[in-house]
A and B are shown apart, each in its own frame.
Chain A
């Protein structure tokens, strides 16, 4: 079997902005693949196209995680979710007014088998499904490291009341609840302290060990270098490098791209510092700074569909 996910010449333009430009890449089954790049490189836009929130301007998305090979272009987000592709969001998207447990249960949506009449009549099979789902939801909470015991646990708290790091974990639990074959994580470590990031790395490995292919976007280079099997680097919408983490780290193009980031993105400091002397590449601060600003100014535009995109 080939790659779980294949991007072929994937392109997205927003008016004059070439957010993603003819990107080819593959995500191998059972791997942890990372998509990295400076702010505004087009990473989230790629994810949004994969999950059906944006319609690609050009190119193909081939998915082989389901029963048959599927072309994802033109499918709605909910149809793609049914193909067992789950995701988390860069700007956490939980249902803040609902309990932690209910947030996980939303993840089971694609797996519910009861018909509406069974719901209305509250049939034994429907009740059994609900009970199993609830137990399973607690198990997923525990799996991601959120205590789900009924006495001391957080399941009855409102999702909004969780600390930032826990919200990210809750989103992962919800995504896992849909029993995905491909899991997309958009900056899962953002806002986490080093200790939390450490735990997250273990969690991601654990997810992979359960046979789920993980495709993630991350700025934390330590995380990327340690856990990924394969890394793809975007800059200004174009793929500039790919390979094993060690290869990518040495790639002068990557170093150059990240150098330009130095001012605006402190998270990439570690990487750039190491490579600063040997490469001597030309920094290009003006481009990356503008990309970073756009992201800061309109988080919704970056992470959500715009009017033109609404199917």
Chain B
């Protein structure tokens, strides 16, 4: 199997390139550096969430129209836990972690109270998100896929409304503000300039690496093959011992875990979360990344995330500039129109995505068939159990 190895190389190169990006753009001056960080970290969120969605939609063929709810759950869990009781969680860690000074602060970054608090928040967010997917999935995953899509769509709307209206818990439409930064040296008097701008970015790269690892490991196992079989031929999957409902649930839970992780990464970037972040369009854009990249293709979805993430952020920053120069206010929604056009073009010319799984080395070779019928079997293990 040359396929996975080539893919591993691709993914490693991509991760290293992402790690080096801030150092490279630093040479271009401050403005370019900050812009690259802003666009880069935004892309990372898309890459993470699209990869999470890839497990459910791309690999299992189970359409989820409300992924943003699970990302939002991760972000809100983090925000509320971190800010609760006047940042009590961070205070708790600060209580018994020695205060470091100088370069030790970032060399021993894992001892930073803020970071420890974030690390505490992550498993809670993941568990909550998985519990929610379990609750939502149990009654609905036995229905046909279309019903499930509708249920997730409805759920995301309900989640949005609850977050917006239950202000006693979620701070309502104002959102949770002043969420502590990822490291104590990112803000305040002890601030280290470089990390205050890059910490969340590197955190995003780390989260993406975890996502990619989980997704690739899962896919190259009997679990992933079960998911793919459910997607490609449910009947064949069942007859080979795959419990379809269970595997759909598996994909939903893996998605929800990774999406919650993506939510925490989103929080680390913005240090703020509000109902506006739960926009339905975000769900659609994550889906677009998966479809554009190629359903189930880890590399393709990674590229899809980069493409849509970059486009979105560049337009968000660029549109006002353009509006100003031409003296005409271009509405921000124009970017959705552009996304739609790109999607149509890609679907027209590459209906299986930018980098479909099947496109790799399977072209041609049909002519090789036929002559090998009489080959004597050399090795078989029929009838031996296990």
B9 within 8 A of A: no
B residues 345-386 near A (Cβ < 8 Å) are: 357-358, 361-362, 365-366, 368-369, 372-375, 377-386
Determine if A107 and B375 form an interchain contact, defined as CB atoms under 8 angstroms apart.
no
Q: A109-B240, A178-B240 are in contact. Are A116 and B223 (CB under 8 A)?
A: yes
- Closest CB-CB distance, B15 to chain A, in whole Å? 17
Q: A93-B233, A94-B236, A305-B235 are in contact. Are A114 and B382 (CB under 8 A)?
A: no
Q: Mark B206-227, 1 if CB is under 8 A from A, else 0.
A: 0000000010011011110110
Determine if A113 and B386 form an interchain contact, defined as CB atoms under 8 angstroms apart.
yes
Instruction: Kindly name the residue among B226, B238, B379 whose own CB sees the greatest number of chain A CB atoms within 10 A.
Output: B238
**Which of A13-21, A133-141, A280-288 participates in binding chain B?**
A133-141
A147 to B375, CA, bound (A): 7
Interface of B is mostly: loop
Determine if B221 and A130 form an interchain contact, defined as CB atoms under 8 angstroms apart.
yes
- Closest CB-CB distance, A103 to chain B, in whole Å? 9
- Closest CB-CB distance, B370 to chain A, in whole Å? 8
Q: Which residue of A lies closest to B250 (CB)?
A: A116
Determine if A210 and B382 form an interchain contact, defined as CB atoms under 8 angstroms apart.
yes
Determine if A102 and B235 form an interchain contact, defined as CB atoms under 8 angstroms apart.
no
**Which of A154-162, A253-261, A270-278, A289-297 participates in binding chain B?**
A154-162
Determine if B377 and A139 form an interchain contact, defined as CB atoms under 8 angstroms apart.
yes
Q: Which residue of A lies closest to B230 (CB)?
A: A95
Q: Mark A114-140, 1 if CB is under 8 A from B, else 0.
A: 101001101000100010001110011
Chain B residues lying within 8 Å of A95, measured Cβ to Cβ, are: 228-229, 232-233, 236
A210 to B383, CA, bound (A): 7
B residues 50-76 near A (Cβ < 8 Å) are: none
Within 8 Å by CB of B365, from A52, A94, A142, A157, lies A157
Give the number of residues in B that approach A within 8 Å (Cβ atoms): 48
Q: Mark A75-104, 1 if CB is under 8 A from B, else 0.
A: 011100110001101000111111101100
A166 to B361, CA, bound (A): 20
Q: Mark B2-35, 1 if CB is under 8 A from A, else 0.
A: 0100000000000000000000000000000000
Chain B residues lying within 8 Å of A107, measured Cβ to Cβ, are: 240
A211 within 8 A of B: yes
- Closest CB-CB distance, B222 to chain A, in whole Å? 4
Instruction: Kindly name the residue among B1, B222, B233 whose own CB sees the greatest number of chain A CB atoms within 10 A.
Output: B222
A96 to B241, CA, bound (A): 19
Chain B residues lying within 8 Å of A97, measured Cβ to Cβ, are: 232, 357-358
A86 to B382, CA, bound (A): 13
Chain A residues lying within 8 Å of B225, measured Cβ to Cβ, are: 102, 105-106, 109
Determine if B240 and A139 form an interchain contact, defined as CB atoms under 8 angstroms apart.
no
Determine if A77 and B238 form an interchain contact, defined as CB atoms under 8 angstroms apart.
yes
Determine if A143 and B235 form an interchain contact, defined as CB atoms under 8 angstroms apart.
no
- Closest CB-CB distance, A282 to chain B, in whole Å? 39
A27 within 8 A of B: no
- Closest CB-CB distance, A6 to chain B, in whole Å? 21
Q: Which residue of A lies closest to B385 (CB)?
A: A179
Determine if A110 and B241 form an interchain contact, defined as CB atoms under 8 angstroms apart.
yes
B117 within 8 A of A: no
Determine if A154 and B373 form an interchain contact, defined as CB atoms under 8 angstroms apart.
no
A278 to B239, CA, bound (A): 44
Q: Which residue of B lies closest to A102 (CB)?
A: B225
A95 to B242, CA, bound (A): 14
Chain B residues lying within 8 Å of A9, measured Cβ to Cβ, are: none
Determine if A179 and B235 form an interchain contact, defined as CB atoms under 8 angstroms apart.
no
A residues 165-219 near B (Cβ < 8 Å) are: 166, 174, 176, 178-179, 199, 207, 210-212
Within 8 Å by CB of A119, from B217, B239, B357, lies B217
Determine if B221 and A114 form an interchain contact, defined as CB atoms under 8 angstroms apart.
yes
A156 to B365, CA, bound (A): 9
A135 to B379, CA, bound (A): 9
A140 to B368, CA, bound (A): 19
- Closest CB-CB distance, B373 to chain A, in whole Å? 5
Chain B residues lying within 8 Å of A142, measured Cβ to Cβ, are: 375, 377-380
Determine if A157 and B232 form an interchain contact, defined as CB atoms under 8 angstroms apart.
no
Determine if B221 and A111 form an interchain contact, defined as CB atoms under 8 angstroms apart.
no
- Closest CB-CB distance, A133 to chain B, in whole Å? 8
5 contacts between A and B (CB under 8 A): A81-B241, A95-B232, A112-B221, A113-B386, A210-B382
7 residue pairs, one from A and one from B, having the closest CB atoms: A147-B372, A95-B232, A110-B241, A81-B241, A77-B238, A112-B222, A210-B382
**Taking beta carbons and an 8 Å cutoff, which residues of B are in contact with A?**
1, 3, 142, 214, 217-218, 220-223, 225-226, 228-229, 232-233, 235-244, 357-358, 361-362, 365-366, 368-369, 372-375, 377-386
User: A93-B235, A105-B225, A210-B383 provided; 13 other pairs, C-beta below 8 A?
Assistant: A53-B235, A78-B242, A102-B228, A106-B229, A112-B221, A139-B380, A143-B382, A152-B372, A156-B361, A158-B362, A211-B383, A304-B235, A310-B142
